Structure 1
Amino acid sequence: MWHQGQERQQEAKPQQAVEDDKAQLVSRLERELAAEQRRSEEYLDMLRRSQADFINYRRRVGQEQEEASLSAQIALLRRLLPVLDDLGRALSATPPELAHQPWVQGLHLVARRLASTLAELGIRQIGRQGEQFDPRLHEAVALDTQASAAEGTVLQIVRPGYMLGERIVRPAQVVVAGSPPTPSSPSAP
Protein backbone atom coordinates (compact mmCIF):
# COMPACT_ATOMS: atom_id res chain seq x y z
CA MET A 1 0.00 0.00 0.00
CA TRP A 2 2.83 2.23 0.79
CA HIS A 3 4.01 1.63 -2.74
CA GLN A 4 0.70 2.55 -4.18
CA GLY A 5 0.59 5.84 -2.25
CA GLN A 6 4.12 6.60 -3.26
CA GLU A 7 3.34 5.81 -6.88
CA ARG A 8 0.35 8.13 -6.78
CA GLN A 9 2.51 10.89 -5.35
CA GLN A 10 5.10 10.32 -8.02
CA GLU A 11 2.38 10.35 -10.68
CA ALA A 12 0.88 13.52 -9.18
CA LYS A 13 4.22 15.31 -9.21
CA PRO A 14 4.77 14.90 -12.94
CA GLN A 15 1.14 15.73 -13.62
CA GLN A 16 1.45 18.84 -11.42
CA ALA A 17 4.66 19.75 -13.25
CA VAL A 18 2.89 19.33 -16.57
CA GLU A 19 0.07 21.55 -15.35
CA ASP A 20 2.57 24.16 -14.15
CA ASP A 21 4.41 23.97 -17.47
CA LYS A 22 1.11 24.43 -19.31
CA ALA A 23 0.21 27.43 -17.17
CA GLN A 24 3.62 28.97 -17.75
CA LEU A 25 3.36 28.29 -21.47
CA VAL A 26 -0.11 29.84 -21.64
CA SER A 27 1.08 32.84 -19.65
CA ARG A 28 4.12 33.27 -21.89
CA LEU A 29 2.01 32.89 -25.05
CA GLU A 30 -0.50 35.44 -23.75
CA ARG A 31 2.33 37.93 -23.11
CA GLU A 32 3.76 37.28 -26.59
CA LEU A 33 0.31 37.66 -28.12
CA ALA A 34 -0.22 40.96 -26.28
CA ALA A 35 3.20 42.18 -27.46
CA GLU A 36 2.42 41.17 -31.04
CA GLN A 37 -0.97 42.90 -30.83
CA ARG A 38 0.72 46.09 -29.58
CA ARG A 39 3.26 45.86 -32.40
CA SER A 40 0.45 45.25 -34.88
CA GLU A 41 -1.40 48.34 -33.57
CA GLU A 42 1.80 50.38 -33.88
CA TYR A 43 2.26 49.25 -37.49
CA LEU A 44 -1.38 49.98 -38.24
CA ASP A 45 -1.02 53.44 -36.69
CA MET A 46 2.14 54.07 -38.74
CA LEU A 47 0.28 52.97 -41.88
CA ARG A 48 -2.61 55.31 -41.12
CA ARG A 49 -0.22 58.21 -40.56
CA SER A 50 1.61 57.41 -43.79
CA GLN A 51 -1.70 57.33 -45.66
CA ALA A 52 -2.73 60.68 -44.14
CA ASP A 53 0.68 62.15 -45.01
CA PHE A 54 0.33 60.91 -48.58
CA ILE A 55 -3.18 62.36 -48.91
CA ASN A 56 -1.91 65.70 -47.58
CA TYR A 57 1.05 65.53 -49.96
CA ARG A 58 -1.23 64.91 -52.95
CA ARG A 59 -3.50 67.76 -51.91
CA ARG A 60 -0.53 70.11 -51.44
CA VAL A 61 0.95 69.14 -54.82
CA GLY A 62 -2.45 69.68 -56.44
CA GLN A 63 -2.73 73.13 -54.87
CA GLU A 64 0.81 73.99 -55.94
CA GLN A 65 0.04 72.88 -59.49
CA GLU A 66 -3.14 74.96 -59.55
CA GLU A 67 -1.23 77.97 -58.21
CA ALA A 68 1.53 77.50 -60.80
CA SER A 69 -1.06 77.23 -63.57
CA LEU A 70 -2.87 80.33 -62.32
CA SER A 71 0.41 82.25 -62.08
CA ALA A 72 1.30 81.24 -65.65
CA GLN A 73 -2.13 82.35 -66.89
CA ILE A 74 -1.78 85.68 -65.10
CA ALA A 75 1.71 86.22 -66.52
CA LEU A 76 0.40 85.53 -70.03
CA LEU A 77 -2.57 87.83 -69.50
CA ARG A 78 -0.35 90.65 -68.30
CA ARG A 79 1.55 90.40 -71.58
CA LEU A 80 -1.61 90.23 -73.72
CA LEU A 81 -3.63 92.98 -72.02
CA PRO A 82 -1.59 95.86 -73.50
CA VAL A 83 -2.39 94.44 -76.96
CA LEU A 84 -6.08 94.40 -76.05
CA ASP A 85 -5.74 97.98 -74.78
CA ASP A 86 -4.14 99.02 -78.09
CA LEU A 87 -6.98 97.37 -80.01
CA GLY A 88 -9.52 99.26 -77.90
CA ARG A 89 -7.72 102.58 -78.45
CA ALA A 90 -7.53 101.92 -82.19
CA LEU A 91 -11.27 101.27 -82.32
CA SER A 92 -12.01 104.37 -80.22
CA ALA A 93 -9.87 106.52 -82.49
CA THR A 94 -11.51 105.28 -85.68
CA PRO A 95 -13.37 108.17 -87.36
CA PRO A 96 -17.15 107.61 -87.63
CA GLU A 97 -17.05 107.86 -91.41
CA LEU A 98 -14.86 104.72 -91.50
CA ALA A 99 -17.09 102.69 -89.16
CA HIS A 100 -18.66 100.78 -92.07
CA GLN A 101 -15.37 99.79 -93.63
CA PRO A 102 -14.83 96.00 -93.59
CA TRP A 103 -11.47 96.28 -91.85
CA VAL A 104 -13.00 98.36 -89.02
CA GLN A 105 -15.82 95.85 -88.65
CA GLY A 106 -13.20 93.10 -88.63
CA LEU A 107 -11.36 94.84 -85.78
CA HIS A 108 -14.64 95.06 -83.83
CA LEU A 109 -15.21 91.35 -84.44
CA VAL A 110 -11.71 90.50 -83.20
CA ALA A 111 -12.25 92.64 -80.09
CA ARG A 112 -15.62 90.96 -79.35
CA ARG A 113 -14.20 87.46 -79.86
CA LEU A 114 -11.22 88.21 -77.65
CA ALA A 115 -13.51 89.57 -74.90
CA SER A 116 -15.73 86.49 -75.25
CA THR A 117 -12.75 84.14 -75.02
CA LEU A 118 -11.44 85.93 -71.94
CA ALA A 119 -14.87 85.62 -70.30
CA GLU A 120 -14.99 81.89 -71.09
CA LEU A 121 -11.62 81.52 -69.36
CA GLY A 122 -13.01 83.18 -66.22
CA ILE A 123 -11.36 86.52 -66.84
CA ARG A 124 -13.57 89.49 -66.19
CA GLN A 125 -13.10 93.17 -66.70
CA ILE A 126 -13.22 95.40 -63.64
CA GLY A 127 -13.72 99.13 -63.32
CA ARG A 128 -17.02 100.76 -64.24
CA GLN A 129 -17.85 104.42 -64.46
CA GLY A 130 -20.11 105.48 -61.59
CA GLU A 131 -19.00 102.81 -59.11
CA GLN A 132 -17.38 103.64 -55.80
CA PHE A 133 -13.59 103.72 -55.76
CA ASP A 134 -12.10 100.56 -54.24
CA PRO A 135 -8.31 100.62 -53.75
CA ARG A 136 -8.18 96.83 -54.18
CA LEU A 137 -9.71 97.08 -57.68
CA HIS A 138 -8.81 100.59 -58.82
CA GLU A 139 -5.68 102.66 -59.23
CA ALA A 140 -6.50 106.38 -59.08
CA VAL A 141 -4.48 108.19 -61.73
CA ALA A 142 -6.28 111.53 -61.36
CA LEU A 143 -8.59 113.33 -58.95
CA ASP A 144 -11.32 115.59 -60.37
CA THR A 145 -12.27 118.19 -57.78
CA GLN A 146 -14.68 119.97 -60.14
CA ALA A 147 -16.98 116.99 -60.68
CA SER A 148 -20.54 117.11 -59.38
CA ALA A 149 -20.46 113.40 -58.44
CA ALA A 150 -20.07 112.21 -54.87
CA GLU A 151 -16.57 111.99 -53.52
CA GLY A 152 -14.93 108.65 -54.32
CA THR A 153 -17.05 108.00 -57.42
CA VAL A 154 -15.22 106.64 -60.46
CA LEU A 155 -15.70 109.25 -63.19
CA GLN A 156 -13.67 107.76 -66.00
CA ILE A 157 -11.91 104.51 -66.83
CA VAL A 158 -8.47 105.33 -68.19
CA ARG A 159 -7.51 101.67 -68.56
CA PRO A 160 -9.77 98.75 -67.63
CA GLY A 161 -8.64 96.26 -65.03
CA TYR A 162 -9.03 92.49 -65.08
CA MET A 163 -9.55 89.66 -62.60
CA LEU A 164 -9.00 85.94 -63.01
CA GLY A 165 -11.27 84.24 -60.52
CA GLU A 166 -10.65 86.15 -57.31
CA ARG A 167 -7.13 87.29 -58.25
CA ILE A 168 -6.56 90.74 -59.63
CA VAL A 169 -4.52 90.55 -62.81
CA ARG A 170 -4.39 94.31 -63.22
CA PRO A 171 -6.25 97.07 -61.35
CA ALA A 172 -8.34 99.51 -63.36
CA GLN A 173 -6.79 102.95 -63.78
CA VAL A 174 -9.47 105.52 -63.02
CA VAL A 175 -10.24 109.20 -62.53
CA VAL A 176 -12.01 109.72 -59.21
CA ALA A 177 -14.27 112.53 -57.98
CA GLY A 178 -12.83 114.24 -54.94
CA SER A 179 -13.18 117.34 -52.87
CA PRO A 180 -10.71 120.15 -53.38
CA PRO A 181 -7.89 120.12 -50.91
CA THR A 182 -8.47 122.39 -47.96
CA PRO A 183 -5.92 125.14 -47.63
CA SER A 184 -3.65 124.43 -44.75
CA SER A 185 -3.60 127.07 -42.09
CA PRO A 186 -0.28 128.77 -41.55
CA SER A 187 1.41 127.57 -38.45
CA ALA A 188 1.36 130.00 -35.59
CA PRO A 189 4.67 131.10 -34.15
Structure 2
Amino acid sequence: MANESEKNSDKSEETEKTTVGSESTNGGDSETEEIEIVQPSAVLFAEQQVLIQSLKKELDESKNKIGELQNSIRRLAADFDNYKKWVAKERQTVERTATESLIKKLLDIYESLEKAAADEKELAAGKEFKEGIKLIYKEFSRILKSEGLEPINAVGANLDVCKHEVLMQMVNNDVPENTILQEIQKGYLLNSLVLRPAKVVVSQKLQNEEALDTENSKNQEEVKGE
Protein backbone atom coordinates (compact mmCIF):
# COMPACT_ATOMS: atom_id res chain seq x y z
CA MET A 1 0.00 0.00 0.00
CA ALA A 2 2.83 2.34 0.85
CA ASN A 3 4.45 1.64 -2.49
CA GLU A 4 1.25 2.50 -4.33
CA SER A 5 0.98 5.85 -2.46
CA GLU A 6 4.53 6.71 -3.38
CA LYS A 7 3.84 5.83 -7.00
CA ASN A 8 0.76 8.09 -7.06
CA SER A 9 2.80 10.89 -5.50
CA ASP A 10 5.47 10.48 -8.13
CA LYS A 11 2.87 10.64 -10.88
CA SER A 12 1.37 13.89 -9.48
CA GLU A 13 4.80 15.45 -9.38
CA GLU A 14 5.38 14.43 -12.97
CA THR A 15 2.31 16.40 -14.01
CA GLU A 16 3.84 19.56 -12.52
CA LYS A 17 7.42 19.02 -13.61
CA THR A 18 9.13 18.11 -16.88
CA THR A 19 12.28 15.92 -16.96
CA VAL A 20 15.02 17.22 -19.22
CA GLY A 21 17.99 15.00 -20.09
CA SER A 22 21.48 16.38 -20.55
CA GLU A 23 24.82 14.75 -21.27
CA SER A 24 27.76 15.22 -18.92
CA THR A 25 30.97 16.53 -20.46
CA ASN A 26 33.04 14.39 -18.05
CA GLY A 27 32.59 10.83 -19.20
CA GLY A 28 29.30 10.98 -21.04
CA ASP A 29 27.09 10.17 -18.05
CA SER A 30 23.60 11.54 -18.40
CA GLU A 31 22.09 13.66 -15.69
CA THR A 32 18.46 14.46 -15.15
CA GLU A 33 17.33 18.03 -14.27
CA GLU A 34 13.84 18.78 -13.12
CA ILE A 35 12.55 22.23 -14.22
CA GLU A 36 9.23 23.56 -12.95
CA ILE A 37 7.26 25.19 -15.78
CA VAL A 38 4.54 27.65 -14.78
CA GLN A 39 1.62 27.83 -17.18
CA PRO A 40 1.56 31.24 -19.07
CA SER A 41 -2.19 31.55 -18.59
CA ALA A 42 -1.77 31.74 -14.82
CA VAL A 43 0.70 34.65 -15.14
CA LEU A 44 -1.57 36.56 -17.48
CA PHE A 45 -4.54 36.02 -15.20
CA ALA A 46 -2.62 37.37 -12.21
CA GLU A 47 -1.50 40.44 -14.17
CA GLN A 48 -5.04 41.06 -15.38
CA GLN A 49 -6.36 40.88 -11.83
CA VAL A 50 -3.80 43.45 -10.70
CA LEU A 51 -4.72 45.70 -13.62
CA ILE A 52 -8.45 45.35 -12.93
CA GLN A 53 -7.97 46.24 -9.28
CA SER A 54 -5.91 49.26 -10.28
CA LEU A 55 -8.57 50.42 -12.75
CA LYS A 56 -11.31 49.93 -10.15
CA LYS A 57 -9.35 52.05 -7.71
CA GLU A 58 -8.88 54.82 -10.30
CA LEU A 59 -12.58 54.64 -11.19
CA ASP A 60 -13.59 54.99 -7.54
CA GLU A 61 -11.23 57.94 -7.12
CA SER A 62 -12.65 59.57 -10.26
CA LYS A 63 -16.21 59.07 -8.99
CA ASN A 64 -15.27 60.70 -5.70
CA LYS A 65 -13.68 63.65 -7.50
CA ILE A 66 -16.76 64.04 -9.73
CA GLY A 67 -18.97 64.03 -6.65
CA GLU A 68 -16.82 66.69 -5.01
CA LEU A 69 -16.91 68.83 -8.17
CA GLN A 70 -20.69 68.50 -8.41
CA ASN A 71 -21.04 69.61 -4.80
CA SER A 72 -18.72 72.55 -5.46
CA ILE A 73 -20.74 73.55 -8.53
CA ARG A 74 -23.98 73.43 -6.54
CA ARG A 75 -22.46 75.59 -3.83
CA LEU A 76 -21.13 78.07 -6.39
CA ALA A 77 -24.52 78.21 -8.12
CA ALA A 78 -26.24 78.91 -4.81
CA ASP A 79 -23.65 81.58 -3.93
CA PHE A 80 -24.03 83.19 -7.36
CA ASP A 81 -27.81 83.23 -7.04
CA ASN A 82 -27.51 84.93 -3.66
CA TYR A 83 -25.03 87.39 -5.14
CA LYS A 84 -27.44 88.29 -7.97
CA LYS A 85 -30.20 88.91 -5.44
CA TRP A 86 -27.88 91.07 -3.38
CA VAL A 87 -26.79 93.08 -6.44
CA ALA A 88 -30.42 93.61 -7.49
CA LYS A 89 -31.30 94.82 -4.01
CA GLU A 90 -28.27 97.11 -3.85
CA ARG A 91 -29.07 98.50 -7.28
CA GLN A 92 -32.60 99.36 -6.19
CA THR A 93 -31.20 101.09 -3.13
CA VAL A 94 -28.66 103.05 -5.17
CA GLU A 95 -31.25 104.04 -7.77
CA ARG A 96 -33.68 105.16 -5.11
CA THR A 97 -31.00 107.15 -3.29
CA ALA A 98 -29.76 108.72 -6.53
CA THR A 99 -33.29 109.63 -7.59
CA GLU A 100 -34.04 111.21 -4.24
CA SER A 101 -30.80 113.19 -4.36
CA LEU A 102 -31.48 114.38 -7.90
CA ILE A 103 -35.07 115.39 -7.15
CA LYS A 104 -33.94 117.38 -4.13
CA LYS A 105 -31.51 119.30 -6.33
CA LEU A 106 -34.18 119.89 -8.96
CA LEU A 107 -36.82 121.13 -6.53
CA ASP A 108 -35.35 124.64 -6.33
CA ILE A 109 -35.29 124.94 -10.12
CA TYR A 110 -38.80 123.53 -10.37
CA GLU A 111 -40.09 126.04 -7.86
CA SER A 112 -38.33 128.87 -9.72
CA LEU A 113 -40.03 127.82 -12.95
CA GLU A 114 -43.33 127.57 -11.12
CA LYS A 115 -43.00 131.09 -9.73
CA ALA A 116 -41.97 132.49 -13.10
CA ALA A 117 -44.94 130.86 -14.80
CA ALA A 118 -47.33 132.26 -12.19
CA ASP A 119 -45.95 135.83 -12.31
CA GLU A 120 -48.16 137.75 -14.76
CA LYS A 121 -45.84 140.75 -14.78
CA GLU A 122 -42.94 138.62 -15.98
CA LEU A 123 -45.17 137.09 -18.61
CA ALA A 124 -46.14 140.53 -19.84
CA ALA A 125 -42.54 141.68 -19.98
CA GLY A 126 -41.75 139.03 -22.56
CA LYS A 127 -38.06 139.64 -23.05
CA GLU A 128 -37.11 139.48 -19.39
CA PHE A 129 -39.17 136.32 -19.01
CA LYS A 130 -37.30 134.62 -21.82
CA GLU A 131 -33.97 135.61 -20.31
CA GLY A 132 -35.09 134.26 -16.95
CA ILE A 133 -36.08 130.96 -18.51
CA LYS A 134 -32.68 130.74 -20.19
CA LEU A 135 -30.91 131.26 -16.88
CA ILE A 136 -33.04 128.62 -15.22
CA TYR A 137 -32.39 126.18 -18.06
CA LYS A 138 -28.66 126.86 -17.80
CA GLU A 139 -28.70 126.09 -14.09
CA PHE A 140 -30.84 123.04 -14.75
CA SER A 141 -28.30 121.75 -17.27
CA ARG A 142 -25.39 122.41 -14.93
CA ILE A 143 -26.90 120.34 -12.13
CA LEU A 144 -27.79 117.47 -14.42
CA LYS A 145 -24.28 117.45 -15.85
CA SER A 146 -22.80 117.44 -12.36
CA GLU A 147 -24.84 114.31 -11.68
CA GLY A 148 -23.21 112.57 -14.63
CA LEU A 149 -25.89 113.21 -17.24
CA GLU A 150 -24.72 113.57 -20.83
CA PRO A 151 -26.47 113.34 -24.21
CA ILE A 152 -25.95 110.35 -26.49
CA ASN A 153 -24.39 111.12 -29.88
CA ALA A 154 -26.83 110.21 -32.60
CA VAL A 155 -27.01 111.88 -36.03
CA GLY A 156 -24.16 110.74 -38.26
CA ALA A 157 -23.04 108.01 -35.88
CA ASN A 158 -23.21 104.30 -36.55
CA LEU A 159 -26.08 102.45 -34.95
CA ASP A 160 -25.33 101.13 -31.46
CA VAL A 161 -28.19 98.94 -30.28
CA CYS A 162 -27.19 99.57 -26.67
CA LYS A 163 -27.60 103.34 -27.06
CA HIS A 164 -30.02 103.79 -29.95
CA GLU A 165 -33.58 102.60 -30.48
CA VAL A 166 -34.50 102.32 -34.16
CA LEU A 167 -37.98 103.64 -34.89
CA MET A 168 -37.68 103.28 -38.66
CA GLN A 169 -35.31 102.85 -41.58
CA MET A 170 -34.89 105.27 -44.47
CA VAL A 171 -33.32 104.42 -47.81
CA ASN A 172 -30.06 106.29 -48.38
CA ASN A 173 -27.34 105.00 -50.69
CA ASP A 174 -24.98 107.92 -49.92
CA VAL A 175 -23.99 106.67 -46.46
CA PRO A 176 -23.15 103.26 -45.03
CA GLU A 177 -26.07 101.13 -43.93
CA ASN A 178 -27.27 101.67 -40.35
CA THR A 179 -25.97 105.24 -40.22
CA ILE A 180 -28.21 107.42 -38.04
CA LEU A 181 -29.97 109.96 -40.26
CA GLN A 182 -32.35 111.58 -37.81
CA GLU A 183 -32.92 111.79 -34.06
CA ILE A 184 -36.57 111.59 -33.03
CA GLN A 185 -35.92 111.80 -29.28
CA LYS A 186 -32.65 112.61 -27.54
CA GLY A 187 -31.06 109.90 -25.45
CA TYR A 188 -28.95 110.28 -22.31
CA LEU A 189 -26.20 108.54 -20.37
CA LEU A 190 -26.05 108.76 -16.59
CA ASN A 191 -22.55 108.06 -15.26
CA SER A 192 -21.68 106.33 -18.56
CA LEU A 193 -24.72 104.02 -18.32
CA VAL A 194 -27.70 104.35 -20.65
CA LEU A 195 -30.45 106.24 -18.89
CA ARG A 196 -32.64 106.52 -21.96
CA PRO A 197 -31.75 105.34 -25.48
CA ALA A 198 -31.99 107.80 -28.34
CA LYS A 199 -34.88 107.13 -30.72
CA VAL A 200 -33.52 107.34 -34.24
CA VAL A 201 -33.99 106.80 -37.97
CA VAL A 202 -31.24 104.79 -39.67
CA SER A 203 -30.18 104.32 -43.27
CA GLN A 204 -30.68 101.23 -45.37
CA LYS A 205 -29.71 100.25 -48.90
CA LEU A 206 -32.27 99.93 -51.68
CA GLN A 207 -32.27 97.28 -54.37
CA ASN A 208 -33.58 99.47 -57.21
CA GLU A 209 -34.10 103.16 -57.93
CA GLU A 210 -37.86 102.90 -58.42
CA ALA A 211 -38.49 101.80 -54.86
CA LEU A 212 -36.20 104.57 -53.52
CA ASP A 213 -38.65 107.46 -53.90
CA THR A 214 -41.59 105.40 -52.64
CA GLU A 215 -39.74 104.21 -49.56
CA ASN A 216 -38.38 107.67 -48.66
CA SER A 217 -41.78 109.32 -49.11
CA LYS A 218 -43.39 106.76 -46.85
CA ASN A 219 -40.76 107.13 -44.14
CA GLN A 220 -40.85 110.94 -44.27
CA GLU A 221 -44.60 110.86 -43.72
CA GLU A 222 -44.12 108.57 -40.74
CA VAL A 223 -41.48 110.89 -39.27
CA LYS A 224 -43.80 113.88 -39.66
CA GLY A 225 -46.50 111.91 -37.90
CA GLU A 226 -44.18 111.40 -34.96
TM tier, smaller: 0.3 to 0.5
Q: TM-score, normalised by structure 2?
A: 0.39
Instruction: Tell which structure's C-alpha radius of gyration is larger.
Output: 2
